Amino acid sequence: MTATYRAAVREAIREAIIRDERVFLMGEDVGRYGGCYAVSKGLLEEFGEDRIRDTPLSESGFVGAGIGAALGGMRPIVEVMTVNFSLLALDQIVNNAATLLHMSGGAFNVPIVIRMATGGGRQVAAQHSRSLEGWYAHIPGLKILTPATLEDARGMLWTALQDPDPVLIFEHVLLYNMEGDLAEDAGAVQIDRAAIRREGRDVSVITYGGSLHKALEAADRLAEDGVSAEVLDLRTLRPLDTEAILQTVARTNRAVIVDEAWRSGSISAEISARITEGAFYHLDAPVARVCGEEVPTPYPKHLEDAALPQVDDIVQAVRSILPGTEGGGS
């Protein structure tokens, strides 16, 4: 059947609420408004206020309440409108959710799922366009998921809810309208391993989330010129599937990392470091990166486009490390 990413997430929430009475959705405007990206539209009418709970504008308060509810035996899905606003809940996410299990010597785990939209590209300027999932991936105790396909949007939530520890799910804003085929019986998917979305021989394009589709488009364009690019979708940023990263690089001997986030101190830097540590002798060329320009995302379209990784940039980065180019080695 044809579905949107938005509908896939909504169906995942519906299924979770139906299957497990401990599950409830809580967040700003998830009920009456239907979710700021219309993800939960209709769910309040279907399930009532006990399962679909509108919260006041209190990110720290309701994320912390989600943590407490998880400690109290519930399985809350907490929606934070966007990653930008999650900064107001950083204390609860980092100091409590990620820390309580260890600090309590294993006595208290926190089975909470926190969903939020991430990324830029909608001309909503700097305070609404951040990609901070890589930041969260820095924190031991959290799991970081970045569903980029309909199957993952549909299937990651249930698996995350089965996890005894806090899981953060980042949904790229540009994906909500993405349409595609989704099997009628699509269900839970694993959240531990990366996935090769396109096989190739000449170069590995390593990416996740919203950038996956740009990477796939770039691979199509490169194929027209006879360049065979493998595209690896990381799917989970913590724990990072290092094995999959090293394996693809071992096959193609070249790597381009694509990430909307800034390059300094980033997940793309981490991936590059792991390649250096684990696949250095497989490399025929330096690792290349296509990242967001180091500037707060500007509003006008031409500037925003220039600030975010584009298909052209990816194609160019790949070309720059192919044989016979300046950076490309032999």
Partner 1 sequence: MTHPYPPSPPLPDEEHARTLLRHMLLIRRFEEKCAELYTQEKIRGFLHLYIGEEAVAAGSIPLLGPDDSVVATYREHGQALVRGVPATNVMAEMYGKIEGCARGRGGSMHIFDAETRFFGGNAIVGGGIPIAVGLALAARRERSLGDSPDELRVTACFFGDGAMAEGEFHESMNLAALWHLPVLFCCENNLYAMGTPLDVAHSETELALRAASYGMPSWTVDGMDVLAVEDATRRAIEAIRGGGGPHFLEFRTYRFRAHSMFDPELYRAKEEVEKWKERDPISLLASRMREADMLDDAGMEELEAEVEAEVEEAVRFSEEGSWEPVEELTRFVYSESDVDGGQSP
Residues classed as catalytic? 59, 128
Q: Which stretch binds partner 1 (CB under 8 A): 55-63, 151-159, 284-292, 296-304?
A: 55-63
Helix orientation angle between 150-162 and 5-19, rounded to the nearest 10 degrees: 30
Q: How far is the CB of 192 from partner 1 (least distance, A)?
A: 12
Establish if 158 lies at the interface with partner 1 (CB under 8 A). Answer: no
For the CB of residue 264, give the shortest distance to partner 1 in the complex, in Å: 26
Instruction: Select the span of 11-19, 60-68, 146-154, 177-185 touching partner 1 (CB under 8 A).
Output: 60-68
Report if residue 163 touches partner 1, rule: CB under 8 A: yes
Q: Site for partner 1 (CB under 8 A): which residue of 7, 52, 70, 83?
A: 70
Residue 111 in the binding site for partner 1 (CB under 8 A): yes
Q: Is 226 in the site for partner 1 (CB under 8 A)?
A: no
- Count CA within 13 A, CB hemisphere, residue 156: 27
By CB under 8 A, tell whether 141 contacts partner 1.
yes
Site for partner 1 contains 87 (CB under 8 A): no
**CB 268, min distance to partner 1, A:** 24
Site residues (CB under 8 A) for partner 1, limited to 3-42 = 21-22, 24
Q: Cα dist. 149→33, 172, 211 in Å?
A: 25, 11, 11
Give the span between the Cα atoms of 98 and 111, in whole angstroms: 11
- Which span sits near partner 1 by CB under 8 A: 35-43, 107-115, 125-133, 190-198? 107-115
> Which residue, 64 or 210, has its beta carbon nearer to partner 1?
64
Tell me the number of residues near partner 1 by CB under 8 A: 47
CB of 37 to partner 1, least distance (A): 23
CB of 38 to partner 1, least distance (A): 25
- CB contact set of 301 (below 8 Å; sequence gap of 6+): 123
By the rule CB under 8 A, 190 interacts with partner 1: no
Interface with partner 1 (CB under 8 A): 21-22, 24, 50, 55-56, 58, 60-76, 91-92, 95-96, 100-111, 140-141, 143, 162-165
